[in-house]
Amino acid sequence: MSAGAGAGPAVGEVVDVGEWAKPLPGLDAVNGPYWKAAREGRLLIQECPTCGHRQWYPRALCTACGADPVWLETTGRGVVHTFTVIRQQGMPAFKAELPYVVAMVELAEGPLVFGSMPGVDPDLVAIGTPVEVWFGVADDDTGVPFWRPVP
Amino acid sequence: MADRTPVIVGIGLSDFPRAPHLDGVQHHVLAAQRAIADAGIDKSSIDGYVNAGGSGGGDMVDGAIAMAEYLGIDHRYLDGTMTGGSSFEFHVQHLASAIRTGLCDTALVTYGSNQLSRMGRALGTGGMHRGPSRIAGPMGYEAPYGNSLVGSYAMHARRHMHEYGTTSEQLAEIAVGVREFAALNPNAMYRDPITVDDVLASKMIADPLHMLDCCAITDGGGAFVMTTAERAKDLPQAPVYVLGAAAAMTHWNVCQQTDFTTCAGEKIAPIVFGQAGLTHDDVDLLMFYDSFTITCLILLESLGFVGKGEGGPFVAEGNLKRGGKWPMNTDGGGLSSCHPGMRGIFLIVEAVRQLRGQGGAAQVPDCEVAIAAGSGGWLSAIGAVLLGKEAP
Ligand SMILES: [Zn+2]
């Protein structure tokens, strides 16, 4: 599976990446909707109806004012805020993909989001590179957001 | 009235860098025995115990509760704060207050880990999520992406380079300077001199950090004894005074870092220097957590020793080397000497040694004030302690 610039899925596309061998989040009442939405091709963050603060990762409260946040669907676009190229990793599922980019993406909606770019040539990535989300299918309830440069 | 100014009166190290004959608990014990002997106190006089665990056995094996029982300490003050590598700077902050207010009189802090003998050198890149395939809590938001410990610091280095023009050559100077001190420490893990070119030619682990930008993985343990200045009058070692201690965090998981060029050092520097009534120019020795070269650079800037973005050129001028303006990590640091997983206690032990004038070949001349600054997690939890030879 390749997700290199110009060759990968469209923004927001949900991709069958075969048998899932990487670690996954433990699902709970708060994060469940986030991972389920990703399974359906939507990247969510949270927004506070009281103070307007936006946050990622999802929580049971607004970290700014303490009120109950609500979900906000993003455009799935952003720019690379910072990144690294992982060249050594002991875990087999990741070792098979070396080298790969791990990055913080600054969403168009504001918050920084953590993720990776499997299959993307690291030379195509720099701070400021525009990127878009796609989703790998882990199981029926869990999609995992990944990133690639905007073609 | 009794002088309850907090002082450090005993220090001890276990065996390192390779000690296959010791497990994590034994590292705690050996360091504790040596610190108690160094302090010249009766074990029975210890009424405070502090420990961050971390040897891999879990809280029930080497956490504060388990080790207080194992060591047989009849405590009336107990603290198990765990903030990763900076735990011990947090501990000094807590103990300074506890000792001043009389919650305890004489406290022991211990650390031990057989990281190298137990796990080899996998800590930095072994994959942080080897175990269960479902990762609970906030780490679940990082677990599917295959980051490494090195990668988290590399993302800081990359952003710092982007904003300030910091170079790999400048970062390499940090590793070269620390190695010069390691050459003077017979126990250091790596003692052969290295050059900037050696660092740049070493294997890239997570861009832009090379292998020689990364700390060693070793076994080791440390301990120290804190008490009041009053009690120290009857003890053999010259007391080292806690002049200030401050600690804070900006995030825990690296996915929640918002400024990859700095850390909570910015928040705690005015506090710790304010408590001590000192300025940066009063400091003779830096003991900085050198998990990676970039860690030192960000501590240097965030704690205000240089302006933001000025760290790269400053280190390239040799200011942190032996004989420089602020010699750093005179024991050879985590980069070259001893890093069993949580190095913060060794920063304090070496600072005390230097302030006593026991630094041997690496002794900083006229060393009167030292700062120990720890970084826990991913430049997440930062603690800084100012230590002095003279009473405040
Ligand atoms: Zn709010």
Tell me which residue of A110, A111, A119 sits closest to A149, measured CA to CA. A119
Which chain B residues are within 8 Å of A89, Cβ to Cβ?
125, 127, 146, 148
- pLDDT of the residue at A4: 38
What is d(CA A31, CA B24) in angstroms, rounded to the nearest whole number?
Answer: 36
Q: Tokens for B215?
A: 């700390």
Inter-residue contact B49 to B68 (CB < 8 Å): yes
Which chain A residues are within 8 Å of B258, Cβ to Cβ?
112
Judge: B204–A83 Cβ closer than 8 Å, yes or no: no
Q: Which amino acid is at B386?
A: L
Q: What is the ipTM of this complex?
A: 0.94
Mean pLDDT over A59-63 rounds to 98
Give me the helix-helix angle, B168-182 and B293-302, nearest 10°.
100
- Choose from B123, B142, B145 for mutation: most chain A CBs within 10 A: B145
Q: Does A19 touch chain B (CB under 8 A)?
A: no
What is d(CA A53, CA A66) in angstroms, rounded to the nearest whole number?
Answer: 10
Q: Is the pLDDT score of A8 beyond 90?
A: no
Interacting residues of A96 by C-beta distance below 8 A, sequence separation 6+: none
Closest-approach residue (CA) in chain A for B210: A87
Q: Which tens digits make up the pLDDT trace of B364-390? A: 999 999 999 999 999 999 999 999 999
Burial (CB < 10 A; 0-12, 13-18, 19+), residue B45, is: middle
Judge: B159–A24 Cβ closer than 8 Å, yes or no: no
- Extract the residue ranges of chain B whose pLDDT is less than 50: 131-132
Q: Does A112 touch chain B (CB under 8 A)?
A: yes
Q: Is the pLDDT score of A2 beyond 60?
A: no
What is d(CA B58, CA B24) in angstroms, rounded to the nearest whole number?
Answer: 11
Q: Is the pLDDT score of A7 beyond 50?
A: no
Give Dmax over CA atoms of chain B in angstroms. 60
What is d(CA B107, CA B98) in angstroms, rounded to the nearest whole number?
Answer: 9
For residue B314, report the phi and psi dihedrals to the nearest 5 degrees. Answer: -65, -45
Which chain A residues are within 8 Å of B159, Cβ to Cβ?
81-82, 127
Q: Which residues pair with B204 in a beta bridge?
A: B210
Closest-approach residue (CA) in chain A for B123: A90
Residue pointed to by tokens 């989703």: A135
Q: Is the pLDDT score of A14 beyond 60?
A: yes
Judge: A26–B134 Cβ closer than 8 Å, yes or no: yes
What is d(CA A11, CA A13) in angstroms, rounded to the nearest whole number?
Answer: 5
Residue pointed to by tokens 């993406």: A105
What is d(CA B230, CA B253) in angstroms, rounded to the nearest whole number?
Answer: 41
What is d(CA B381, CA B82) in angstroms, rounded to the nearest whole number?
Answer: 10
CA distance B216 to chain A (A): 16
Judge: B158–A122 Cβ closer than 8 Å, yes or no: no
Instruction: Kindly give the pairing relationship between strand A54-55 and strand A44-47.
Output: antiparallel
Tell me which architecture the domain covering B6-119+217-388 has in CATH: 3-Layer(aba) Sandwich (3.40)
The DSSP element (H or E) to which A28 belongs, if any, is none
Judge: B145–A127 Cβ closer than 8 Å, yes or no: no
pTM of the prediction?
A: 0.96
Q: Does A91 touch chain B (CB under 8 A)?
A: yes
Q: Does A43 touch chain B (CB under 8 A)?
A: no
- pLDDT of the residue at B138: 95
